[in-house]
Structure formats: structure tokens, C-alpha cells
């Protein structure tokens, strides 16, 4: 019998989506990008996103619950940023064993409230549900966002010859940084509104997983200098490729604009590194990266 650990997350998602009927025509972007994109107003698209974190998988049972709450919201804010949009309405579903203590749950909500306020979003609903006592807590976030039609950035629109850029530094997030994510909302909005990016996504599962996804969505390959990857202090290139949970922006840019991008960026975001790491090439010429976070890979994997 085939099990999830045998095939990995991307193959699983493909098999599940194959069970569904064809998407309706008014749906601009369905499963496969950071968010779904559906009609909203004459000048805007609505972005829809869900994301879950699970005790024992995305955070440890003893972890500070305010930080866990912040992370749960911030991950979704990062997805809206990656599309060139901004977050708006959030709904929170929490699955809790009946014998769970209440105080840590209140702390979880305090952390979520803090992050919602920081990024101009609001909680409008959700629910609590019981899970069996041997199960871990789960927090499932659903949210709507909004994006100007002219600002929308997808994974699928990179062009051959585009340069590949990444913001911030990568690797070593699991030492604790993954709980204190600062989504690149301002940077992403600037890139989208200035027209610098041809395609964009956020780095959640590690460069080695996420860059191939962007390339595949665009029908292209990539050639990157892994030694050029901007690593966090103490993190190796291997960690920058595989650790995940960086929540930095990965985007492509027409080389003709790159000369203009870099000096303007340094002026507007002097504290956020921006690094050119390579180029988009034909699929047949693509290099391959290994590592990165697959939710269903055997736990002994690197």
C-alpha cells in the first residue's frame, strides 16, 4: 500500500488535485501558487490562503505560545506579500485536546493579535474544536488578502534570462528565528508597485525546494551560484538550501532593470540585503539542488 512518506508532498498534492473537477474560468490562479487569486473589484484581485501549524511538527510542545501565535499569522502575511498584496481578514481554527490548559491558549491568541495589528489585518472568525487527547494542538489559519491587479506577482511568469534575487539572509532558522518572522510586506509591495519583479514567491521550504517550484511553474530552469547565497551568521550554504522557514522573498528581474533595482533598493531598504544569485535558463539546461523541507519525507532525511 502506498504511503505519504513514499511519495512526498508535491506528488501527494498532484494526486489529490486530480480528484477535483476542472477549475471555473473566473478563477485566475488556483492551487499551486502562494495564494489563490479570485475576482474582487474592477481594479483588485482577492487573495485566498490557508496555512496550518502543528505541535510537534512546526513548533515544540513547550514553545512560548505568544511566539507560536505570531508565527502562525506571519507565515500567511508572507504569502500575501509574495503575491504583491496585503493581508485583510483572518479566521483561526484551533484544534485542542479537552485536557489542555487555557492560559497558553490565551497567550497564543495574544501573539496572533500582535502580528495581525502589526500588519494591518484583523481577525473576523474561526472556531475551536476538540482533538483526541493524544493529538497535538493544531492552528489552521485562513485569510483573505487584496492585491491591485497591476501589482499581482505569480510564480509562473519568470522569463528566460531573468536574474534571480533573494532578500535577507538564509539558513539556520530552526535555531529559533522561525518563530520571529518579519514578513517582507513593505519590500514586496515596493517591488510589485515599481514593476521590478517578473515572478515572486516567499521562501518557506528552503531554496532547494522553492526555487525549482518557481522555475517549474514558469516552464524554465535555473542556474545559481550557491556560493553566492546570503547565509545567516553561522549557517552553511547547505543550511541555506535546506533549512526552510526563511520567509524571504525570491524573485526574478529583467536584467535590463537590475542595474536600476540595486541602487534604489539600497536607498529604500538599507537594512535588508538584496542578493543576485543566478539566472533563469531553459529547462533542459537547469541545474539541480538537493535538500529542503518536504512535509512527508522520512524523518531521518537530512
Q: What is the Cα Rg of the chain in Å?
A: 19
Q: Would you say 76 and 204 are in contact if contact means Cβ atoms under 8 Å apart?
A: no
CA-CA distance, 116 to 182, in Å (whole number)? 12
Q: Which is nearer to its own copies, 46 or 167 (CB)?
A: 46
Q: Which residues, 44 to 103, sit near its own copies by CB under 8 A?
A: 46, 48-58, 88-89, 91-103
Q: Which is nearer to its own copies, 57 or 175 (CB)?
A: 57
Q: Which residues, 17 to 46, sit near its own copies by CB under 8 A?
A: 17, 19-21, 23-24, 27, 30-31, 35-36, 38, 40-41, 46
CA-CA distance, 47 to 85, in Å (whole number)? 8
Please name the residue that has the C-alpha cell 498584496.
85
Q: Which residues, 173 to 192, sit near its own copies by CB under 8 A?
A: none
Q: Minimum distance between the CB of residue 263 and its own copies, rounded to whole angstroms?
A: 37
117 binds its own copies per the rule CB under 8 A: yes
Q: Minimum distance between the CB of residue 103 and its own copies, rounded to whole angstroms?
A: 7
146 binds its own copies per the rule CB under 8 A: no
In sequence order, what are the residues at sequence separation of 6 or more whose Cβ sits closer than 8 angstroms to the Cβ of residue 194?
Answer: 264
287 binds its own copies per the rule CB under 8 A: no
CA-CA distance, 43 to 40, in Å (whole number)? 8
12 binds its own copies per the rule CB under 8 A: yes
Q: Which residues, 189 to 248, sit near its own copies by CB under 8 A?
A: none
Helix (H) or strand (E) holding 212: helix 207-217
Q: Would you say 54 and 135 are in contact if contact means Cβ atoms under 8 Å apart?
A: no
16 binds its own copies per the rule CB under 8 A: yes
Amino acid at each position: 500500500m502506498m504511503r505519504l512518506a513514499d511519495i512526498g508532498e508535491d506528488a501527494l498534492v498532484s494526486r489529490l488535485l486530480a480528484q477535483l473537477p476542472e477549475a471555473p474560468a473566473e478563477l485566475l490562479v488556483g492551487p499551486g501558487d502562494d495564494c489563490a487569486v479570485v475576482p474582487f473589484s474592477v481594479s483588485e484581485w482577492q487573495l485566498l490562503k490557508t496555512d496550518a501549524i502543528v505541535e510537534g511538527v512546526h513548533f515544540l510542545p513547550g514553545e512560548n505560545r505568544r511566539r507560536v501565535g505570531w508565527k502562525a499569522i506571519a507565515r500567511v502575511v508572507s504569502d500575501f506579500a509574495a503575491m504583491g498584496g496585503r493581508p485583510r481578514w483572518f479566521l483561526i481554527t484551533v484544534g485542542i485536546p479537552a485536557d489542555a490548559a487555557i492560559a497558553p491558549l490565551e497567550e497564543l491568541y495574544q501573539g496572533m493579535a500582535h502580528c495581525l495589528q502589526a500588519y494591518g489585518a484583523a481577525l473576523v472568525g474561526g472556531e475551536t474544536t476538540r482533538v483526541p487527547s493524544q493529538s497535538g494542538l493544531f492552528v489552521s489559519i485562513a485569510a483573505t488578502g487584496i492585491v491591485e491587479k497591476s501589482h499581482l506577482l505569480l510564480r509562473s511568469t519568470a522569463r528566460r534570462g531573468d536574474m534571480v534575487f533573494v532578500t535577507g539572509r538564509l539558513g539556520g532558522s530552526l535555531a529559533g528565528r522561525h518563530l520571529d518572522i518579519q514578513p517582507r510586506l513593505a519590500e514586496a509591495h515596493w517591488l510589485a508597485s515599481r514593476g521590478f519583479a517578473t515572478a515572486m514567491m516567499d521562501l518557506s521550504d528552503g531554496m532547494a525546494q522553492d526555487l525549482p517550484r518557481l522555475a517549474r511553474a514558469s516552464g524554465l530552469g535555473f542556474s545559481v551560484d550557491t556560493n553566492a547565497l546570503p547565509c545567516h551568521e553561522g549557517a552553511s550554504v547547505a543550511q541555506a538550501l535546506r533549512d526552510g522557514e526563511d520567509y524571504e522573498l525570491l524573485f526574478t528581474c529583467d536584467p535590463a532593470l537590475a542595474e536600476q533595482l540595486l541602487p534604489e533598493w539600497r536607498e529604500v531598504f538599507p537594512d535588508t540585503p538584496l542578493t543576485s544569485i543566478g539566472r533563469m535558463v531553459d529547462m533542459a539546461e537547469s541545474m539541480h539542488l538537493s535538500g529542503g523541507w518536504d512535509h512527508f519525507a522520512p524523518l531521518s532525511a537530512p
